[in-house]
């Protein structure tokens, strides 16, 4: 060779895979017209880091003078689908390769290594048919941790993938080619055992279907042709998706196993003159621009997706269910879901991508310098989507409350509605919109000025800006909501007081809720109708027949609700000194079914209205 062999090997193959040694040898055998190729791995653990030797032989034309000259001169090729230096990869794994070749007219023997000088030993062949044998030895990559990637089974798969275009062409032309694989192991006593054997026969390859379409966006003159096979198998799903370039199949990742039902074998090979001369030095990658790569993948994903839906009905059924799931659980993202994903729709990825698109649309509107008609309409759409997202969050809270039973504490219920020990102010509503769930009582209570959760009456007095010794107590209403028609300027306020009880309490404990509400009312009526213009008192407690009878005996009135809801107006005395001047004060007592289901009905109505507005977005 006219170039320093080892330097050239390092230049063209800086970090090749071990399989490339086999690929290059097989490519040479196929070029030589071989109909039989034998691959044999011999593993001898006693040799340490040099434990592996490989022999690859074939019945091809052999190294005649012309072929030997090409081998000896780098970059000398006869067609553009060859690069002229593939054999250099041998030296990236083995220091030496002994080659013995019988050809028409003689026998040639030589050793290929870093010191190769185009020298060989010529002799006469004694009635031997043409054949070539390459023995790879003196492994130079250190100790091998695993032989799995070069086992006969693994090699059969990788060689089928790499050479599929050539192998299938031979099948179509009825040309013979069998590749036999064996792996042997040298035992400590010197015996050689056959560990594993495999065979690949092009005649046994499945017939492929064909689909052809324009290479739109890539090349105006060329078309893309897909040869494919899809069949049901008992084994795990396997996928070959590759591009035929310069006679080799270059893998292109388009489909993951997770995107397919189990038990299918898929082969997709894409052909086009557009790919001629596009493979890199090692024949492992296509040399295309980022734009060409993106465009190619986009075209193929669209076409392969249609093929998969036609050939595997399970995909269509699954995807229709998944789309329905998206529209039901994520209606605010309608129109942002990727409908062109290949195979089975991956929920997590599609949802994540839709969220990113939604956030990008929000950012575009928020960062706009001015609002034209188009942006105005877009802002309305995005606002509707954001509101829908919030309504969906409320659905999760409702579902969580539905799961509570008598094993859950009062604190767990309380914290789900409004976290305990919190004081929430309306001017900072965005900070607590996703943990303030006062809307469960009524959506009008979201127009609050202040919410006090498990705070004593002294704090309530401070919020009402009143000075009263009656409020100097450690008693704490569970939830107190202060609101008014004008949050900023109204001198008078409305007050809502809520008392909660855990599920599964005794009758006496349940009856306490009415007593507690009356106690809170006695404090507040002192400032009615001066500072406080209206008051509401709610008790939320578990119902049973005994408690229901107790309320009826106390002359509570049963109101219409999806659960149990009772009401009574109590004459509350501001003080003993003013016992004749009572203030009529209404107290509501409801069970958790009424509390939850009434909120659910309101929430569902909002959601249905919003979802109906997304029909146009979803169609786009």
The domains found in the chain, sorted by start residue, are: 5-200 (3.30.565), 209-311 (no CATH), 313-401 (no CATH), 404-602 (no CATH)
pTM above 0.75, yes or no: no
Rounded to an integer, the average pLDDT of 333-346 is 73
How confident is residue 615, by pLDDT bands cut at 50, 70 and 90?
Answer: low
How confident is residue 613, by pLDDT bands cut at 50, 70 and 90?
Answer: low
Helix H or strand E encompassing 244: strand 238-245
Rounded to an integer, the average pLDDT of 523-549 is 91
Greater model confidence, 617 or 508: 508
With a CB cutoff of 8 Å and minimum separation 6, the contacts of 164 are 240, 242, 244, 249, 267, 269
Among candidate residues 102, 176, 130, 133, the one with its CA nearest the CA of residue 40: 133
With pLDDT > 90 as the criterion, what percentage of the chain qualifies?
31
Rg for the chain, CA atoms, rounded: 40
Among candidate residues 250, 348, 260, the one with its CA nearest the CA of residue 296: 250
pLDDT at 485: 63
Residue 127 — left, alpha, or beta (φ > 0 → left; ψ -120 to 50 → alpha)? left
Distance CA 13, CA 26 (A): 18
Rounded to an integer, the average pLDDT of 118-146 is 87
Phi, psi of 435, rounded to the nearest 5 degrees:
-140, 0
Q: Is a pLDDT exceeding 60 seen at residue 445?
A: yes
Phi, psi of 4, rounded to the nearest 5 degrees:
-60, 115
Distance CA 37, CA 26 (A): 8
- Concatenate the DSSP letters of all residues of 67-123 into one string: HHHHHHSTT--SSTT--S-GGGGGGGTEEEEEEEEEETTEEEEEEESTT--S--EEE
Neighbours of 511 (CB within 10 A): 20
Distance CA 479, CA 526 (A): 20
How confident is residue 380, by pLDDT bands cut at 50, 70 and 90?
Answer: low
* Mean pLDDT for the chain overall: 83
Burial readout 572-591 (b: 16 or more C-beta within 10 A, e: otherwise): bbbeeeeeeeebebebbbbb
- Asked if the peptide bond before residue 547 counts as cis, ω within 30 degrees of 0, the response is no
Question: Exposed, middle or buried, 523 (CB in 10 Å: 0-12/13-18/19+)?
Answer: buried
How confident is residue 529, by pLDDT bands cut at 50, 70 and 90?
Answer: confident
pLDDT at 614: 59
Q: Is a pLDDT exceeding 80 seen at residue 166?
A: yes
Q: Is a pLDDT exceeding 50 seen at residue 3?
A: no
pLDDT at 438: 86
pLDDT at 619: 47
Q: Is a pLDDT exceeding 90 seen at residue 53?
A: yes
Question: Exposed, middle or buried, 147 (CB in 10 Å: 0-12/13-18/19+)?
Answer: middle
pLDDT at 281: 63
Q: Is a pLDDT exceeding 90 seen at residue 618?
A: no
Whose tokens are 């089974």? That residue is 153
How confident is residue 2, by pLDDT bands cut at 50, 70 and 90?
Answer: very low
- How distant, in Å, are the alpha carbons of 77, 120, 475 from that of 69? 11, 11, 101
pLDDT at 71: 82
Q: Is a pLDDT exceeding 90 seen at residue 591?
A: yes
Rounded to an integer, the average pLDDT of 214-240 is 83
pLDDT at 384: 72
- Distance between alpha carbon 534 and the CA centroid of its chain, in Å? 52
How confident is residue 246, by pLDDT bands cut at 50, 70 and 90?
Answer: confident
Greater model confidence, 348 or 18: 18
Phi, psi of 177, rounded to the nearest 5 degrees:
-165, 120
């Amino acid at each position: 060779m006219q170039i320093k062999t080892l330097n050239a090997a390092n230049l063209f193959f800086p970090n090749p895979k071990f399989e490339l040694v086999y690929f290059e040898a097989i490519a040479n055998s196929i070029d030589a017209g071989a109909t039989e190729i034998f691959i044999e791995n011999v593993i001898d653990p006693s040799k340490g880091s040099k434990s592996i030797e490989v022999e690859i032989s074939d019945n091809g034309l052999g190294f005649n003078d012309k072929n030997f000259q090409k081998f000896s001169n780098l970059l000398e090729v006869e067609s553009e689908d060859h690069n002229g230096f593939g054999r250099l990869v041998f030296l990236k794994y083995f220091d030496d390769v002994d080659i013995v070749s019988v050809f028409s007219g003689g026998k040639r023997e030589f050793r290929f290594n870093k010191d190769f000088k185009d020298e060989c030993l010529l002799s006469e062949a004694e009635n031997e048919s043409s054949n070539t044998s390459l023995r790879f030895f003196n492994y130079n990559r250190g100790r091998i941790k695993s032989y799995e990637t070069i086992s006969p089974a693994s090699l059969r798969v990788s060689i089928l993938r790499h050479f599929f275009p050539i192998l299938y062409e031979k099948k179509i032309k009825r040309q013979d080619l069998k590749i036999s694989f064996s792996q042997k192991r040298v035992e400590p006593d010197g015996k050689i055992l056959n560990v594993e054997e495999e065979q690949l026969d092009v005649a046994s390859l499945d017939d492929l279907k064909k689909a052809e379409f324009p290479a739109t966006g890539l090349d105006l003159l060329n078309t893309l042709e897909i040869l494919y096979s899809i069949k049901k198998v008992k084994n795990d799903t396997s996928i070959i998706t590759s591009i035929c370039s310069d006679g080799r199949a270059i893998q292109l990742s388009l489909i993951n196993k997770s995107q397919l039902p189990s038990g299918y074998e898929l082969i997709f090979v894409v052909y086009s003159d557009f790919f001629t001369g596009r493979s890199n030095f090692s024949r492992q990658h296509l040399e295309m621009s980022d734009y060409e790569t993106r465009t190619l993948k986009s075209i193929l994903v669209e076409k392969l997706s249609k093929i998969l839906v036609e050939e595997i009905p399970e995909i269509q059924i699954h995807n229709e269910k998944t789309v329905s799931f998206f529209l039901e659980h994520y209606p605010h993202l309608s129109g942002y879901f990727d409908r062109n994903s290949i195979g089975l729709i991956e929920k997590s990825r599609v949802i994540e991508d839709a969220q990113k698109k939604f956030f990008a649309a929000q950012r575009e509107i928020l960062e706009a310098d001015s609002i034209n008609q188009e942006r105005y309409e877009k802002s309305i759409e995005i606002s509707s989507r954001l509101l829908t997202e919030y309504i969906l969050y409320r659905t999760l809270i409702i579902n969580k409350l539905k799961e509570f039973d008598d094993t859950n504490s009062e604190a767990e219920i309380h914290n789900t509605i409004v976290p305990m020990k919190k004081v929430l102010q309306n001017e900072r509503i965005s900070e607590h919109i996703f943990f303030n769930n006062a809307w469960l009582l009524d959506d009008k209570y979201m127009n609050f000025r202040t919410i006090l959760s498990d705070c004593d009456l002294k704090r309530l007095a401070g919020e009402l800006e009143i000075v009263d010794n009656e409020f100097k107590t450690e008693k704490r209403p569970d939830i107190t909501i202060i609101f008014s028609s004008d949050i900023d300027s109204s001198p008078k306020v409305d007050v809502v007081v809520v008392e909660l009880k855990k599920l599964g309490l005794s009758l006496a404990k349940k009856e306490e809720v009415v007593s507690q509400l009356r106690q809170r009312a006695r404090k507040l009526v002192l400032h009615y109708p001066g500072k406080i213009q209206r008051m509401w008192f709610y008790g939320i407690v578990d119902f049973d027949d005994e408690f229901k009878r107790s309320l009826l005996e106390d002359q509570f009135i049963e109101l219409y609700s999806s659960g149990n809801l009772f009401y009574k107006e109590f004459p509350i005395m501001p003080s003993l000194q003013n016992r004749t001047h009572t203030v009529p004060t209404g107290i509501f007592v409801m069970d958790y079914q009424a509390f939850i289901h009434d909120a659910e009905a309101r929430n569902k109505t909002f959601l249905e209205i919003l979802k109906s507005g997304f029909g146009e977005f979803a169609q786009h």
